[in-house]
Structure 1
């Protein structure tokens, strides 16, 4: 029997990865449906279905044939003969294969079913302020995470292996240094603002009908370049974006009648994620590179659009008239008052509603708690107390209940440990990207003030979006800014913006 050629092995590998992407897309639709209105009585069965399909996908990714193909394609001579795209695809698959192969399929299926059930239980427990019901599910999720860490192996800190899954190359040592430097700037700046007279923002609690919020959300998504022919907007409990493929990228938001700011900025945030996914190169469709390169880079786009563009003065100079037209409850509020209100700095209990300055402190709290959980320094049963204590220490406020405290985020229910630091990394990447974009586009502020987002979107597509996962996070930031990640861009941006707003 003749040996298969490299071309034949590559073709088989690509067919296998395309099949895996098909499973991922199907699972993406099922997850989206669960979070956007699937009948409650069907959720337990849906969790089982997700478990079965996820396990089939897992088996494909860790099959003996996948291992044989990767071994052949990563041999030096064969690897060098591959195109840049195929080398990157094989490298990513090999990393995932080596990691996943260490987990028994039966164990993985049980975990997926548990995580899906835990998310549904969390959705019920959160509004009922019922940590006791959610606790046994979270304990099992945490236990599985610890077992996975032991199977995967780790270096200096057990938490490192979880960080690497979301932001390749990130470690506790690096994050501790970055967060430490950020905290040194944020704390005195927040204190200086606290000493100033509070802004009058009572008008932000005026009731706005859901239909008006939905209308403005759809309007602003179209304005920034979101393609509704390749997506849709739906309500949910905890907003998210789902990129099934560049032609089907769905966003969600949350409508609260006396808090229009919630849906407004959730929509723009998820729209930032969606712009990334909708503009990945068609050449990557069907490969494991047809997505964002890391959660930190992905968050850079949601935070860039939400905060650095969506909360900027030029943005509201252009769109406040449209906002007042669609939301007449704000007809008598001056634009400058509204601009300052959406940029108010005030310690708050809810991460997703936090201002730009204090937001990173919310992330640091979760980061510290996750480290302690994974290193057996904290038990799930003690999470509410530890959570409340850290909010008191970091933000000077204490949650009155678990709904506003430890139950507020969906991430832990689905096993998303190691994910939260991506949000702060995203802020850092975004600030550095904005600096480079302003240099490349001298008319940036004028373009935003005129609602001209095509040049901005085109620049981001060329530098970031089109590459999908073809570039590593480090390569992306170097491609954009010509340098590695530098957190000082974020502190410079925050100091300049908020010293102006608060006349410091």
Structure 2
């Protein structure tokens, strides 16, 4: 075997083990017995030690030096392996193992604290997680910005300063649009009624299939925080059900199908390899947010969904498809990021980005986090946080150490705005298909332009190749202005 062949075979086995670890995380979120937390933490730590040793194996450096790529795909594989090798060799195995153990334990502590509305119960564990991730960031950054070192894991090439500058450009237009909409006296009516759990899940499954999710290679379950897990031939999604709010279930499902479809549609030749996954979390979010919002909340698709909801649940207090479309896109106050409308969603992300960046920089103490969150939320949204599960305890991300992850949600929205603009130009009859409940032309366009390539290209190149121009926030902001001005007759 050549050095390149040895490297690829070694990486394939490492990727397979990483999928096993991902399955353990899925189990922990969905069906693990509550009393198994401590043992699962040890299992995760043991597997992380094996994965770290494989990914930092000195032979990888030797193989990388000797490997000769035969084409652009091989060169991309070497790029991704080298990136992971560089990160792994900078982090001591003992630190990586302790992070894996601690975040596994932390998940259970967070869930308990959230259920009890008890921030104090979670703070000691969060202190531990932040300290570990700061130590890891220092090892990775080697004198550079620690937050950037963590961000690079999720969005290669992005910087905290660059994201902050983009957010500063976006924030005034988002706030201005929100204030104009909330100033309208005649707001859309909310959905009314009780929506039976089994019927919600039945329609959620239909939605998943309509958007291209392959149940032969996946499954749909319930979780506190909906998520997607896995790649290739085993990609699992979860949703949640509130019997007074079926949109929570339906749009969480569509969102996670966007993630899952990306993973299921990567070129099979890349399976269990360095290119066999999404290009970045920002590009991943572009798929899920586009599926959920630009397609799933479009006027055309809402007409079909309205008829399906009436068939399942009967009258829901909404008269006509136009009224239903306005209700689906209703802009209202609320504390929960995952339930936020398209306009205010990014403001939720900006809050989290600023706070986590300050935590990693050491400018904000964990003990001060709840107060900082509550103060910032009131300043940004104009009303107080009413309980911790609607505030600092609502998201699982910090509990499991995902610092640097939050900004990729808004990056995904920005990328989605660019992709939708290009898609509309290429598919002028898209709405005709959506009116039939068929997102196939849109999901097919995304499959061929984005998803099939996996991680072959860098994130911004992936988007630029798909839409024909460098991604920027303009298309997203223009889309939001036009959509909500029409709904609210601004």
Q: Which TM-score applies when normalising by structure 2?
A: 0.97
In structure 2, the residue matched to 1:493 is 479
Distance, in Å, in 2 between the alignment partners of 1:232 and 1:181 is 40
Distance, in Å, in 1 between the alignment partners of 2:144 and 2:7 is 34
- Contact 2:188/2:330 (8 A) holds in 1: no
- Contact 2:140/2:146 (8 A) holds in 1: no
| Larger deviation, residues 464-473 vs 167-176 | 167-176
After superposition, the C-alpha distances for 1:242-293 in whole angstroms (9 at most, x for unaligned) are: 12x3221111001111121111110110011111111010110121211100
Q: Secondary structure at the match of 1:251?
A: strand
Q: Secondary structure at the match of 2:90?
A: coil
Q: 1:300: how far off?
A: 0.4
In structure 1, the residue matched to 2:453 is 467
In structure 2, the residue matched to 1:222 is 209
In structure 2, the residue matched to 1:9 is 3
Distance, in Å, in 2 between the alignment partners of 1:200 and 1:316 is 15
- Contact 1:208/1:329 (8 A) holds in 2: no
Q: Does 1:349 align with 2:342?
A: no
Distance, in Å, in 1 between the alignment partners of 2:261 and 2:313 is 25
Q: 1:225: how far off?
A: 1.3
Q: 1:223: how far off?
A: 1.1
Instruction: Pick one of 413, 421, 435 that aligns with 2:407.
Output: 421
- Contact 2:204/2:250 (8 A) holds in 1: yes
Distance, in Å, in 1 between the alignment partners of 2:186 and 2:391 is 25
- Contact 2:242/2:249 (8 A) holds in 1: yes
Query: RMSD of the alignment, in Å?
Result: 1.4
Q: 1:212: how far off?
A: 1.0
Distance, in Å, in 2 between the alignment partners of 1:71 and 1:44 is 41
Q: 1:200: how far off?
A: 4.6
Distance, in Å, in 2 between the alignment partners of 1:206 and 1:239 is 23
Q: Secondary structure at the match of 1:234?
A: strand
Distance, in Å, in 2 between the alignment partners of 1:200 and 1:313 is 14
Distance, in Å, in 2 between the alignment partners of 1:71 and 1:423 is 36
Distance, in Å, in 2 between the alignment partners of 1:379 and 1:437 is 45
- Contact 1:347/1:396 (8 A) holds in 2: no
In structure 1, the residue matched to 2:24 is 30
Q: Secondary structure at the match of 2:489?
A: coil
Q: Secondary structure at the match of 2:115?
A: coil
Q: 5 Å matches for 1:13-412?
A: 13-73=7-67, 78=68, 81-153=69-141, 157-202=145-190, 204-243=191-230, 245-328=231-314, 330=316, 333-412=319-398
- Contact 2:419/2:467 (8 A) holds in 1: yes
Distance, in Å, in 2 between the alignment partners of 1:198 and 1:107 is 56
Q: 1:327: how far off?
A: 2.3
Distance, in Å, in 2 between the alignment partners of 1:106 and 1:205 is 53
Ranges in structure 1 where 5+ consecutive residues have no aligned partner: 1-6
Moved over 6 A (4+): none
- Contact 1:230/1:248 (8 A) holds in 2: yes
In structure 2, the residue matched to 1:454 is 440
Q: 1:69: how far off?
A: 1.3
- Contact 2:295/2:439 (8 A) holds in 1: no
Q: 1:71: how far off?
A: 2.5
- Contact 1:118/1:138 (8 A) holds in 2: yes
Q: 1:83: how far off?
A: 2.4
Instruction: Pick one of 427, 438, 454 that aligns with 2:424.
Output: 438
Distance, in Å, in 2 between the alignment partners of 1:198 and 1:27 is 50
- Contact 1:238/1:253 (8 A) holds in 2: yes
In structure 2, the residue matched to 1:482 is 468
Distance, in Å, in 1 between the alignment partners of 2:482 and 2:188 is 22
1:331 to 1:246, Cα distance in 2 relative to 1, 3 A: farther
In structure 2, the residue matched to 1:4 is none
Aligned length: 490
Q: Which TM-score applies when normalising by structure 1?
A: 0.95
- Contact 2:155/2:280 (8 A) holds in 1: yes
| Larger deviation, residues 222-231 vs 295-304 | 222-231
- Contact 1:233/1:251 (8 A) holds in 2: yes
Distance, in Å, in 2 between the alignment partners of 1:428 and 1:153 is 27
Distance, in Å, in 2 between the alignment partners of 1:443 and 1:332 is 28
After superposition, the C-alpha distances for 1:385-410 in whole angstroms (9 at most, x for unaligned) are: 00000111111121112111000000
After superposition, the C-alpha distances for 1:467-487 in whole angstroms (9 at most, x for unaligned) are: 000111121111111111110
- Contact 1:280/1:465 (8 A) holds in 2: yes
In structure 2, the residue matched to 1:3 is none
Q: 1:329: how far off?
A: 5.0
Q: Secondary structure at the match of 1:413?
A: coil
Distance, in Å, in 1 between the alignment partners of 2:467 and 2:312 is 38
